[in-house]
Structure 1
Amino acid sequence: MIAPSDLPRRLLIVSDVDSTFIGQEVIELIARRAGAESEVAEVTEAAMRGELDFAESLQARVATLAGLPVAVLDEVRADVTLTPGVPELLAWAAERGHVVALVSGGFHEVVDPLAATLGIRHVRANRLEVSDGILTGNLAGPIVDRAGKAAALEEFARAEDIALSATVAVGDGANDLDMIAAAGLGVAFAAKPLVADQAQRTLPGPRLDALIPLLENWTP
């Protein structure tokens, strides 16, 4: 075990979820059950490249899910796989007292159970509206967009009493750009060119624990 006196400065590591912390785009997994996966995947890809307004594109994609029973989310949760290197990154962070948080343009219904099994306390995501056990095709509550992700990073930092200069944001799409800019260190992971061009560091993937040597050699 590392002695407390040997611990580095405590960090807040905030990761995007879809195609960063996990290997899938959750909305596409849900849309598959509605027969709209191809249509939704095209819109998702354009939004990640920054070609579409995220909030508008998300609402359009969620609309295709109307009529699905909420029980399909159990199937979707079973389809989700962690990005290689996530367990190693979490173990490294826990040993050193760092905090890992998740922010997602996806959905609490899928992200929350995943975070709970991994011991992750801070999560911000969108929420699907449900009526009588059926997805309505709408969202409940405010949309977690670019600004929402950056605001979540700042909120989590305050809650953990960690300076913004000691925060790390990791993401792959245009929706992550504001939090990447707000963090002490912004990292593009297997990212779209727009994101790779604006992040301070880039990791090509496929393993998220490639972040470890980067952080071990970074001084906030």
Structure 2
Amino acid sequence: MDTPPPFRTLTDLGEDDPSPGARGLDHVLTLIAAPGSAALTVERVEAVRTALGGLGAETDRPRWLAPGEACDIAFAGLAMEQAEGSARAVLADLPVDLLAQPVADRKKALLISDMDSTIVTSETLDDLAEHAGLRDAIAAITRRAMNGELDFAEALRERVGMLADLSEEAFARTWADTRLTTGARALVGTMKANGARCLLVSGGFRYFTSRVADLCGFDDHVSNDVVIENGRLTGAVVEPVRDRQSKLATLMAEAGRLRLPMSRTLAVGDGANDLPMLLAASLGVAFHARPAVAAEARAVIRHGDLTALLFAQGYTREEFTESA
């Protein structure tokens, strides 16, 4: 068996600049353990680094972003898919997310985020349906739409139609039980503290996106609305429906307005209507996503919370700042 090439570290190179890019290490592999899992040990990280070296990569010492939780391994001379595959073989079924990406433009200047099952833990339309006694029926349609089996706009019209005559008070009762996903405020707060623009773009309803945007500190929000007359839903959606193309269009328009290259963009979501913007963004993250979405997205977070998106950008836990 061939002997793996020796590791090249700062000491080996005799360089003072700690920047991976300055040393020709143009990619970075980020390992992120599920919170509280203790799955990311020094020994396991070194085993991953050894595996990368065995494939011919040049690597640097691991840079811990949060002790025992997240770390970077800068590397060169290996394709991103090779690095990820090698790391996955070492870590096997451990609850560790991993992502290889270029070092350049790693910190993003624009965040476009889905709301339901991403920034909040639930599907707010399904929760709203609970107050009409229709949760199971509407949730079944939601699952199919989010997995790409149904046209999103038609599925939304169908579900809202089933809620005709529901009192608008159900919105307030639903909101009272809505919970933010762990890390949501840190994600937005940290990115905004570092100059990024953050938008919430949802196929859900304005009643909820306006409140979530305020709670997390998003700069703006784009979503759907329902027609209400005499305090009750009519069963109609205000047209046009905000769907997958609307999310992609928002990403492209904001990047253009800010004169940002796509390499400075981040998008996150879980459903099929998020996929176009995930594929268009430089860092498109399928977050605890539907199988069809996870199968196509470049980056997938299965175990971490939303702070995984900060680790993916190279932020240390000490740099996290929650929105006010």
Q: So what's the TM-score if we normalise by structure 2?
A: 0.62
1:45 aligns with 2:143: yes
Q: 2:265 corresponds to which residue?
A: 167
Q: Which residue identity lines up with residue 169 of structure 2 in the other structure? A: A
Structure 1 residue 155: Cα displacement: 2.3
Q: 2:125 corresponds to which residue?
A: 27
Map 1:1-220 onto structure 2 (within 5 A). 11-216=109-314
Structure 1 residue 10: Cα displacement: 5.1
Shift of the 164–122 alpha-carbon distance from structure 1 to 2, 3 Å rule, reads farther
Which consecutive aligned stretches of 4+ in structure 1 deviate over 3 angstroms post-superposition?
158-161
SS at match of 1:187: strand
Structure 1 residue 208: Cα displacement: 0.7
Report the more deviating stretch, 12-21 or 149-158.
149-158
Alignment partners' CA distance in 1, 2:109 and 2:122: 26
Structure 1 residue 33: Cα displacement: 0.6
SS at match of 2:116: coil
C-alpha contact (below 8 Å) 1:10/1:96 kept by paired residues: no
Structure 2 gaps of 5+ residues are 1-105, 316-324
User: Which of structures 1 and 2 has the larger relative contact order (alpha carbons within 8 angstroms, sep 6+)?
Assistant: 1
C-alpha contact (below 8 Å) 1:109/1:128 kept by paired residues: no
Q: Which residue identity lines up with residue 240 of structure 2 in the other structure? A: P
Q: Which residue identity lines up with residue 59 of structure 1 in the other structure? A: R
Alignment partners' CA distance in 1, 2:108 and 2:140: 39
Structure 1 gaps of 5+ residues are 1-7
Shift of the 94–43 alpha-carbon distance from structure 1 to 2, 3 Å rule, reads same
SS at match of 1:125: strand
Over residues 70-105 of structure 1, what are the superposed CA-to-partner deviations in whole Å (9 max), with x where a residue is unaligned?
122111111111001112212221221122211111
Alignment partners' CA distance in 2, 1:168 and 1:64: 35
Alignment partners' CA distance in 1, 2:312 and 2:204: 27
